[in-house]
Amino acid sequence: MWLLTNVMDHSLDDGYAQAAARRAEGGKGLPSTLRAKLGLAAALLLAAVVVTLGAAQAQISAPTLAKERQQLIHRIEAETAAADSLQKNVDTLRDSVGTQQRDALRKHGGDKAELVSLLAGATPVQGPGVKVVVDDAKQAKTSGGGPRESSGFSDTGRVRDRDMQRIVNGLWQSGAEAIAINGQRLTALSAIRAAGDAILVDNRPLVPPYTVLAIGDGQRLSTTFQDSVDGQYLHVLQQNYGIRASISAEGEVRLPAAPSLTVRTAKPEKGTS
């Protein structure tokens, strides 16, 4: 009972009460001696000087920084314009070389010039065929094992170059007469490679979704491809990795000519007839 009574009578600790009394006697916590007041004033003055000097320095350096930034912007814009101009020149020269190569192919192809031009991808073509659209998975997904376990990459649900290689090879084997990916015509010398996660066709980067157009008997080509090993591979990618893909027979598809061709002629070895 004594302990409870003491707690009720002295709810505030004696130490807190003494501290409150000292603060009440000394004002609102401000220094009471002249030395302390001078120290506080000096500290405030020093802080004001530092802030003022900082603001002045920022104001002085602002025009210089703005000038340097504007110069950097101008330099970037100039270099970008120069790169665009060079790219246009490259495209123009590539088209010119491709035209001359196609003309040479038609000129020296003999009676089978049209067939040779078609097989070499030198001429645009149109006709019935199939359209295969392949896209990355909606969400990143990591799966252990599967058909791509030896690819050297951790699977992120993205379409790989080897996936496109198998799709294209499967279409060729299923009877496709001509193939293009995202408007890029494929030839016997075309290469599908990777640069990081990007897919390159003849050193030109492609952007998903990847649309593969193939000329051939549409319905039969579609059925044959889906029943092939590579068609089943694409189905596995859909089921296990979330890769999105669709295949449809088309009444008419149009494929452009290959942008550039390498014209080669066979020469007999010396000493042979």
d(CA 254, CA 215): 8
Q: Which two tokens stand for residue 44?
A: 């405030």
Instruction: Dump pLDDT digits (tens) for 35-92.
Output: 777 777 888 888 888 888 887 777 777 777 777 888 899 999 999 999 989 988 887 8
pLDDT tens-digit readout, 10-19:
555 666 666 6
Q: Encode pLDDT of 206-262 as tens digits.
A: 989 999 999 999 899 999 999 999 999 999 999 988 899 999 999 999 998 887 666
**Token pair of 30 as six digits:** 């401000």
Is residue 125's pLDDT more than 80? Answer: yes
Kindly state whether residue 135 falls inside one of the protein's structural domains: yes
Q: How far apart are CA 240 and CA 147, in angstroms?
A: 9
Tell me the per-residue pLDDT of 128-159, one tens digit each, with 9 for 90 and over: 999 999 999 887 544 444 445 444 444 568 89
With bands split at pLDDT 50, 70 and 90, how would you rate the model's confidence at 115?
low
Q: What is the CATH number of the domain that holds 176?
A: 3.30.70.1880
- Determine, yes or no, domain membership for 132: yes
In a domain, 34, yes or no: no
Total number of domains in the chain = 1
The answer to the question of residue 195 being in a domain is yes
Does residue 104 fall inside a structural domain? no
Is the pLDDT score of 183 beyond 60? yes
Q: Quick check: pTM over 0.75? A: no
Looking at the domain assignment, is residue 113 inside a domain?
no
Distance CA 237, CA 104 (A): 43
Q: What is the pLDDT of residue 145?
A: 41
Q: Which domain holds residue 161?
A: 126-255
- Examine residue 233 and state whether it is found in any structural domain, yes or no: yes
Q: Is residue 91 part of a domain?
A: no
